[in-house]
Amino acid sequence: MSPSGRCATTASRCCGRSSAGPRWAEREVHLLDYVTGATGFLGGHLVEALVRRGRRVRALVRPGSPRGELMRLGVQCVEAPLADANAVEPGLRDVDTVYHCAAKVDDWGPWQSFHEVNVRGTAALARAAARAGVRRFVHVSTTDVYGHPDREVDEDAPLRPRGMPYVDTKIQGEEALRRAADELGLSFTIVRPASIIGPRSRTFVTGVLERLRRRALVLVGPPFRPAGFAYVDNVVDALLLAARCERAAGRAYNVHDDVPATWRDYCGILARSLGCPPPRWAVPRPLAYAAASASELCWRVLRRPGHPPITRLAVELVGTTQRFAVERARQELGLRPAVDFHEAMRRIVSWAVEARI
C-alpha cells in the first residue's frame, strides 16, 4: 500500500493517496525543489522520485562531483560552498522546498570535517533558505542522535551526545537548524531515519559484501536485536510527505520499516544470495566496545591513516536495539512502508548482481 499524506485536519492539506506514492496538484509542478547530497545515496534516490513526479529539481553539488546522471534527469546543478550562506542563497531563489540530505556520514574521521558539513553547513543553508523565502526545509537527521539507548524511544526522548563525531554533530546540526528557524521564521521538518538500506548503498551493501567476501564481518551481541532497517524508497516517501504536511512544521519524525529483522538476518540473506559465507561469530558487546575504544585510541595517538578495524559507533549500531517509535509518522504523515523487508532484500540482491558488486 502506498503511503498517504493524511494530516489531522484534512487530507487535502498534505499529500494525496496514489499508487505512485506522494503527489502534488498540477498547479504546483512549476515550483522548484532543492536537494543537497543529490549525488549521494539517499539524495540520489530522492531526486529520481521527484523527477518521476514531474517536479523541477535544483541540486547543490560540490565542484568536481559527478553530475552526469543529474544532467540526464534534467536537474539544474549549482555549485556553492555549503557552509557559506551568502554563496548558497542565490541558488535558492524560486525554491519551494529544500531537502537537506548532504552530511558527513562516517564512523571515523577528523571532528572538523563532520562539523563543517553537519553543523556549519546546516546552519548556513537554513539561514539562506529563510532569507530566500523557502516554504519548507526538510532536514535529514538520524536516530543516532538518541545515543543508542538500547530500548525503544520516541521523538521526545532527549538527544544524547556520545563523544562520537557523527552522532554529536548531527545533534548540533538539529540545534543549529532550530536556532536559525526561530530567529528567521523558517518552517522546517526533521526526519530521523534509522539504518537506510537499498541499492547503491556503499555502507550497508557494498561495504557489507566486501567484508563478507573477506570473512571479516563479525556480529556483535545477541543475534535477536531489531536492526531498525529503513528501505531507501520508504525514507524518500517520508521526506516527500513531510514536505507537504502542514502539521509537520517544527516536528521531528522517526523513520524505519518497523520490522523485527536483525543484522544476522540481513547479512545472512546477502551472503546466501551472492555466494558468500554468512557471518558465524558474534562478539559480546562489552568486549567489542572495549576493543573499539582501544582501536580508536591507538589510531588517534599514533595518527594512523584510514579507519580503525572497529569503532564504537559501529559497535553501537550493530550491538544495540535499533527500534524507535514510528507512530507519529504514521498518524501525522500517513506514512506506511510501501516496500517490505523481503522485497527490499530482493531489490538489493538484484542490484548487487547486476552491478557485479
Q: Which CATH number belongs to the domain containing residue 165 in this structure?
A: 3.40.50.720
Nearest to 82 by CA among 132, 120, 129: 120
**Structure pTM?**
0.91
Contact (Cβ atoms closer than 8 angstroms) between residue 255 and residue 237:
no
Joined grid coordinates for residue 310: 572497529
Number of domains in the chain: 1
Does the pLDDT value for residue 18 go beyond 70?
A: no
- Neighbour-count burial for 121-153, b at 16+ CB within 10 Å, e otherwise: bbbbbbbbbbebebebbbbbbbbbbbbbeeeeb
Element (H, E) at 212: helix 207-213
Going from the C-alpha of 246 to that of each of 24, 138, 225, 242, the distances in angstroms are 14, 12, 35, 8
User: What pLDDT shows up at residue 59?
Assistant: 98
Does the pLDDT value for residue 30 go beyond 90?
A: no
Q: Is residue 302 part of a domain?
A: no
User: What pLDDT shows up at residue 2?
Assistant: 35
Give residue 33's domain range. 11-198+229-257+322-338
Q: Is residue 211 part of a domain?
A: no
Q: Is residue 290 part of a domain?
A: no
- 74-85: average pLDDT: 97
CA dist 344 and 9 (Å) reads: 33
User: What pLDDT shows up at residue 22?
Assistant: 52
- The angle subtended at Cα 87 by Cα 82 and Cα 92, nearest 5°, is 85
Q: For residue range 133-158, what is the model confidence (pLDDT) as tens digits?
A: 999 999 999 999 999 999 999 999 99
User: What pLDDT shows up at residue 204?
Assistant: 96
Q: Is residue 214 part of a domain?
A: no
- 242-269: average pLDDT: 97
DSSP state of 268: H
Does the pLDDT value for residue 17 go beyond 80?
A: no
Q: Is residue 158 part of a domain?
A: yes
pLDDT: which is higher, 77 or 65: 77
Q: For residue range 174-199, what is the model confidence (pLDDT) as tens digits?
A: 999 999 999 999 999 999 999 999 99
Contact (Cβ atoms closer than 8 angstroms) between residue 172 and residue 162:
no
Q: Is residue 15 part of a domain?
A: yes
Q: Is residue 209 part of a domain?
A: no
Q: Is residue 190 part of a domain?
A: yes
